[in-house]
Structure 1
Amino acid sequence: MKVLIAGAGIAGLTAAASLHAVGIEATVIDAVTTLRPLGVGINLLPHAVGELAELGFAAALEDCAIPTGQVRHLDRFGNRIWSEPRGLAAGNPWPQYSVHRGELQSLLLAGVRDRLGAAAVRTGMSLESFTEDATGVRCRVLDRTAGAVVEVTADALIGADGLHSAVRARLHPGEGRPLWNGIRMWRGVTETAPFLDGRTMILAGSNRAARFVMYPISRAAQQRGQSLVNWVAEVRVHDESAPTPDWNRTGELCDVLPHYAGWRLAGVDIAELISGSEGILEYPMVDRDPLPWWGTDRVNLIGDAAHPMYPIGSNGGSQAILDARVLAAELSAAGDVITGLARYEAVRRAAVNAIVLANRDMPMDRIMHMVSERAPDGFDSIDEVLSTSELSGISAAYRRTSAGMTTSTITGPEPE
């Protein structure tokens, strides 16, 4: 069995390593000519960390990532609304990690090339089209270095090519642009002094107006006595046309800074944190409607190509990893491509589509907005703002879009 994977991101590289682990030949192609450690921070939930550990990446993750100890929700004045342990502190068998996306991609890339060989990941190769029949899949691929179109054949094609997936577009033509919810996001990373215990994720404010997220992502910075902080500024805007999502679009400091004037969270001056970033990325918060089916007999999708979702609950990257692991497990168990891909989609599609819809609901944001309405100038104690029943419902609301929602068939379900 030979599998061609379009896309050398987290989903595609995890799929290649997982397929190799069960004895299936995999080749990864990517349109970029050089894979660089780009991007900002990402969270990996415990069930996804466990899957990467099964693949032999536990030590590499521990060397570069921060094991998140807790999540803390604040109002815009820095007053504590709610907090809860995460990862090992919450009784999970694996940590929850916060890590630079580029570092995660780099360690996966190194692992794939070490195990499958350097030729297993081919850059500068852009998928243009494909056809399938009873014998396999024939793909027309533009070799951007040579400037020529080549034909690549395989028993299966897996689209791991993200939000703007060429594979998805061919399977589901006419789908249109990604769907925007009216929130603009600015992201960056800034090295600064550690805040709190150096392992806490902060979420403050409300998406009804402005929300801010920050968490440390670098073990190397921690060892220097510093903290490399990933930050996300989310602002709801009005009367703007939907922008085109571009993960490399440069954001302007003057656009984001006014929304956070005077904000101070966990001892951190937010305007200073934003201003200290070497670069700012800007893109809209988008997703796509869940599909009633993903693939065909020999072609299917994983990760953001299959189920792009709002970045709520730290689940996007984790679900991509679970996709990859289930894909390999089902192909291996079935022994043939058509049965294996059908089983993969049966296991994953309904479960992850439910997460896409749950992320649109944003139950925690409703609570944060309720606090801002009831206490617009801040508060001394959250008990003065929320009732006992409202407080007790926060954890359940957060878990709707967070850990433990679905796991792979390889390691079994994650405990509550």
Structure 2
Amino acid sequence: MKIIIVGAGIGGLAAAISLHEAGLHDVTVYERSTAIRGLGVGINLLPHALRELTELGIADSIAELGVEPRTLAYYNRFGQPIWHEPRGLDAGYRWPQLSVHRGRLQLALRDLAEARLAEPIRLDHRLVAVASNDDGTETATFATADGTVEATADVIIGADGIHSALRALRYPAEGAPPWGGLTLWRGVTRIPAFLDGRTMIMAGDADQKFVAYPLAPADADGRMLVNFIAERRVGGTGDADWNRAIDPAPIAELFRDWNFDWLDVPTAIATADEILEYPMVDRDALPQWTFGRTTLLGDAAHAMYPNGSNGGSQAILDARTLAFHLATAPGIDAGLAAYEQARRPAMTALLAGTRATGPERVMQLARERAPQGFSDIDEVIPHAERAQIAADYKTAAGFLPEILNDRPSLTPPSGIAR
């Protein structure tokens, strides 16, 4: 089975590794960029993603790149605690959670994929067309610096992100990703360790929020590398340039009063080496991912708001699920159908959940019920209500501990791939 993957981001590279480990070795990755530079800031890989990386045999090399958070904690905009819960192994999972720089993760996956694949990643190949052939194969046409290039395969996987070319070919009237009214500023800063040095924090509400988590352990001076996301609801149209670097000072000013006794938010923002601006956008759920023998994966299929820190993890789950079904189904069409049935309904529900702020709903409820703060959070949001919100999101995202720990493996039986 010859397979083409369009896109060398986290989802595409995870798919390449997953397919190879499932016994499907004729895989070629095409990437529109002229180089894989490992851009971005921090992301979280949740236990369901770490399970898949572990079963692929690559978790140890990925774990060296980041830090395992022990706790996730939510606060209001005054720094008062709303909810906290253990994460990773401390929460009863058999696999940890990992906070890592996205660029370092992408480069590591690139190296792991190229060590396995027979063909190197084809850079500077921008997908412009796909055509179905009479024999059931698909032909992709790529634009390159040297002209157009055609490649034919049994399966074409679109893992080319929120601005997916393959998705646009299948849904040409869809248009730009819809804006949610928020602007995000992402950065990396080095600040004194906060709380226990292993906690991911979220403070604020649906109109203004600050998220921070360590990317490396504290150094000898007690300082640590921290990824942060600052959000604010703003006027405008949401057409801000992606990855546009801006001056940190005006963003720090937006958070000037957020100086908690355990974290100085404006200083954390002001001392960042660089801040990148993003519009808060996602994609509407699709009624169909698979057309002929082409299908979508990761953000190309279900780009979602970062509420829940789940996008990269779901792309890895897509990759493993697709590889499993292509390797074990009685035919290619059956494998693609089984993949879509396993993933699309779940991602449709998860998209709706992230638009409703996902597990961060506790922060919004605290804002609505106690806008000036509180003396006892249990009087504002009872413990049972907070616990239910957390559990509901884990269930929707597929990483409730008892479900994840007992779920059958997505590793195909040895030798089953055609």
Structure-1-length-normalised TM-score: 0.91
Paired residue secondary structure (1:122): coil
Q: Which residue of 2 aligns with 1:215?
A: 213
Task: Select 1:298's aligned residue among 293, 298, 301.
Answer: 293
Retained in 1: the 8 A contact 2:7–2:161?
A: yes
Q: Which residue of 1 aligns with 2:101?
A: 100
Aligned length: 405
Letter in 2 for 1:4: I
Deviations 1:77-129 (A, max 9, x none): 21111100011000000001111101111111110111114x33111111111
- CA shift, 1:158, in A, is 0.5
Letter in 1 for 2:214: P
Retained in 1: the 8 A contact 2:142–2:150?
A: yes
Deviations 1:296-343 (A, max 9, x none): 121000000001111111111111001000111111112532222122
Q: How does 1:178-257 map to 2 (within 5 A)?
A: 178-207=177-206, 209-218=207-216, 226-238=223-235, 240-243=236-239, 246-257=241-252
- CA shift, 1:389, in A, is 4.7
- CA shift, 1:143, in A, is 2.2
Percent identical residues? 46
Letter in 2 for 1:198: G
Paired residue secondary structure (2:130): strand
- CA shift, 1:401, in A, is 6.0
Q: Which residue of 1 aligns with 2:414?
A: none
Q: Which residue of 1 aligns with 2:142?
A: 141
Retained in 2: the 8 A contact 1:290–1:356?
A: yes
Deviations 1:18-44 (A, max 9, x none): 111122111101111111121011111
Deviations 1:25-78 (A, max 9, x none): 111011111111210111111011010111111211221111111101111121
Deviations 1:220-274 (A, max 9, x none): x658854211100111123x22325x54222343442232112124622111111
Retained in 1: the 8 A contact 2:308–2:358?
A: no
Q: Distance in 2 between matches of 1:88 and 1:23?
A: 31
Q: Distance in 1 between matches of 2:198 and 2:398?
A: 17
Letter in 1 for 2:232: V
- CA shift, 1:201, in A, is 0.5
Deviations 1:337-382 (A, max 9, x none): 2222122111111111111111111254443233234444433432
- CA shift, 1:151, in A, is 1.3
Change (3 A) 1:260 1:124: same
Change (3 A) 1:214 1:132: same
Q: Distance in 2 between matches of 1:204 and 1:265?
A: 10
Letter in 2 for 1:44: L
Structure 1 unaligned blocks of 5 or more: none
Change (3 A) 1:129 1:392: closer
Retained in 2: the 8 A contact 1:184–1:234?
A: yes
Q: Which residue of 1 aligns with 2:377?
A: 382
Task: Select 1:320's aligned residue among 315, 329, 339.
Answer: 315
Paired residue secondary structure (1:123): coil
Retained in 2: the 8 A contact 1:315–1:403?
A: no
Q: How does 1:74-153 map to 2 (within 5 A)?
A: 74-117=75-118, 119-135=119-135, 136-144=137-145, 147-153=146-152
Paired residue secondary structure (1:310): coil
Q: Distance in 2 between matches of 1:397 and 1:368?
A: 15
Q: Which residue of 2 aligns with 1:176?
A: 175
Task: Compare 252-261 and 39-48 and name the one that shifted more.
Answer: 252-261
Change (3 A) 1:58 1:370: closer
Q: Distance in 2 between matches of 1:9 and 1:291?
A: 21
Q: Distance in 2 between matches of 1:316 and 1:266?
A: 32
Change (3 A) 1:224 1:28: farther
Task: Compare 394-403 and 255-264 and name the one that shifted more.
Answer: 394-403
Change (3 A) 1:327 1:369: closer
Q: Distance in 1 between matches of 2:43 and 2:252?
A: 23
Task: Compare 262-271 and 102-111 and name the one that shifted more.
Answer: 262-271
Letter in 1 for 2:216: S
Retained in 2: the 8 A contact 1:314–1:402?
A: no
Q: Distance in 1 between matches of 2:389 and 2:55?
A: 32
Q: Does 1:18 align with 2:18?
A: yes
Q: Distance in 1 between matches of 2:353 and 2:176?
A: 21
Structure-2-length-normalised TM-score: 0.91
Q: Does 1:352 align with 2:352?
A: no
Change (3 A) 1:23 1:401: closer
Letter in 1 for 2:215: I
Q: Which residue of 2 aligns with 1:4?
A: 4
How well do the aligned residues superpose, as a CA RMSD in angstroms?
2.2
Retained in 2: the 8 A contact 1:45–1:403?
A: no
Change (3 A) 1:266 1:339: farther
Change (3 A) 1:324 1:391: closer
Q: Distance in 2 between matches of 1:143 and 1:335?
A: 36
Retained in 1: the 8 A contact 2:283–2:303?
A: yes
Task: Compare 99-108 and 380-389 and name the one that shifted more.
Answer: 380-389
Task: Compare 383-392 and 163-172 and name the one that shifted more.
Answer: 383-392
Change (3 A) 1:388 1:270: closer
